[in-house]
Amino acid sequence: EAGVVQSPRYKIIEKKQPVAFWCNPISGHNTLYWYRQNLGQGPELLIRYENEEAVDDSQLPKDRFSAERLKGVDSTLKIQPAELGDSAVYLCASSVMGTAGETQYFGPGTRLLVL
Amino acid sequence: DQQVKQNSPSLSVQEGRISILNCDYTNSMFDYFLWYKKYPAEGPTFLISISSIKDKNEDGRFTVFLNKSAKHLSLHIVPSQPGDSAVYFCAASTQTGANNLFFGTGTRLTVIP
């Protein structure tokens, strides 16, 4: 079974430039998450989708961040304009409900460096 | 406020010995706990989980113990292997509700051959 796919793996941009990240979840997983992981920290949730609906975007900085999940499969996370503090790893995850609880599976992440 | 805490940033263990990674949480509503392993330049990989109705879950060399009264869980790896060297993240969620995961800051395990 293919895992969560993310692209690009690495991105270097100058501040004030836009950037976009793409995620393809595991087939059949209806729930999709975007996380941001800063150096030395655990991942922190940005937004959660149930199919094409964003059910929790309370942690998404909406002045510069946007996300979409058209057709409830692939998702795109955008930052415009990027700031120096946005340098981090952006992780996408999708989940499946097991007998004990919901388990999230992560992609490899996109490492963003803003100069 | 960090709801999930891993107070040991690093741990070194000899190959073949037991590795014990610890995690504490503050939110009594958490009822599902997971451990993830992360290698450099990769995303976190799911390792093992436990529901709050249990106090132990075992999968091969990996066992997770949950002490609800102490709001503490631990991951035991025995015997430890050099390939286990990675950063281990503890995560918690409430299955009734948002299901959002809250992560600790990670513990870097080094297994010395």
pLDDT, tens digit, for every residue of B34-55? 999 999 989 999 999 999 999 9
Q: Report in angstroms the alpha-carbon separations of A52 from A3, A57, A78, A102, B33.
A: 20, 13, 16, 19, 27
State the pLDDT at residue B9. Answer: 95
Question: Is A83 near chain B, with CB under 8 Å?
Answer: no
User: Do residue B49 and residue A111 have CB atoms under 8 angstroms apart?
Assistant: no
Match 């035991």 to its residue by tokens.
B76
B96: pLDDT strictly greater than 70: no
Q: In this complex, do A40 and B99 lie within 8 Å of one another by their Cβ atoms? A: no
Query: How far does B77 lie from chain A, in Å, by closest CA?
Result: 21
Between chains, do B31 and A48 touch, taking CB under 8 Å as contact?
A: no
* Residue-level pLDDT at A102: 81
Would you tell me which residues 31-70 of chain B have a C-beta closer than 8 angstroms to some C-beta of chain A? Answer: 31-32, 34, 36, 41-46, 49-51, 54
Determine the residue among B52, B64, B100, B107 to mutate to test chain A binding: the one whose Cβ has the most chain A Cβ atoms within 10 Å: B100
Can you read off the two tokens belonging to residue A37?
Answer: 């992981």
The pLDDT profile of chain A, 115 residues, written as one tens digit per residue, is: 689 999 999 999 999 999 999 999 999 898 999 999 999 899 999 999 999 999 889 899 999 999 999 888 999 999 999 999 999 999 999 998 777 778 899 999 999 999 9
pLDDT at A101: 77
CA distance A45 to chain B (A): 7
pLDDT band at B18 (very low <50, low <70, confident <90, very high): very high
For B36, residues 6+ apart whose C-beta sits below 8 A from its C-beta are A106, B44, B45, B46, B47, B88, B89, B91, B103
DSSP string across A38-71: -TTS--EEEEEEETTEEEE-TTS-TTTEEEE-GG
Contacts of B75 by beta carbon, 8 Å cutoff, 6+ apart: B19, B20, B21, B23, B35, B47, B48, B62, B63, B64, B88, B90
- Give the model's confidence band at B75: pLDDT under 50 very low, under 70 low, under 90 confident, else very high: very high
Res B97 pLDDT > 70 = no
Confidence of residue B77 (pLDDT cuts 50, 70, 90): very high
Per-residue pLDDT band at B98 (split at 50, 70, 90): low
pLDDT for B61 equals 97
Residue B2, pLDDT score: 85
What does the pLDDT read at residue B65?
Answer: 98
Distance from CA of A64 to the nearest CA of B (A): 22
Tell me what pLDDT residue A71 has: 85
pLDDT for A17 equals: 97
Confidence of residue B28 (pLDDT cuts 50, 70, 90): very high
Whether A44 has its CB under 8 Å from any CB of chain B: the answer is yes
In chain B, the percentage of residues whose pLDDT exceeds 90 is 88
